[in-house]
Amino acid sequence: MDDEKQIRWAGSAYDDLLAFPKDARKKAGFQLGNFQAGLEPADWKPFDDVGVGKREIRISEPSGIYRVMYVAKFEEATYVLHCFQKKTQVPNKQDKAIAAARYRAVVNLRKEKK
């Protein structure tokens, strides 16, 4: 278990995940745990619109479609940028803007620590 990559939460991502319905929250946690242990999530896609190395876990439930956007490329941790319910076919501009702003904040924070 010491090999697991740490998960760090940007902005309100953790609270947003906790607001998911129970089954969606459990699936998201399981998929993040798989990734943390070095496995690929069951349903994901790259989402480089927001930043290089950004991925999106896709969760479908009877209650709706949910997304967990995270950055996988950094060695020290996986950064979860944004968790939200998807309500349209096309990615919502506001959700993309939130993830992009948090991605920039993570990149800047990492630069400051060097």
Instruction: Say what the pLDDT of residue 51 is.
Output: 67
DSSP 64-109: EEEEEEEE---SSEEEEEEEEEE-SSSPPHHHHHHHHHHHHHHHHH
Model confidence at 3: pLDDT above 80: no
Model confidence at 2: pLDDT above 90: no
Render pLDDT for 54-73 as a digit per residue (tens, 0 to 9): 899 999 999 999 999 999 88
CATH architecture of 6-113: 2-Layer Sandwich (3.30)
**Whole-angstrom distance, CA of residue 56 vs CA of residue 68:** 6
**Whole-angstrom distance, CA of residue 39 vs CA of residue 44:** 12
Is residue 111 very low, low, confident or very high in pLDDT (cuts 50, 70, 90)?
A: confident
Instruction: Say what the pLDDT of residue 75 is.
Output: 85
Render pLDDT for 68-84 as a digit per residue (tens, 0 to 9): 999 988 888 899 999 99
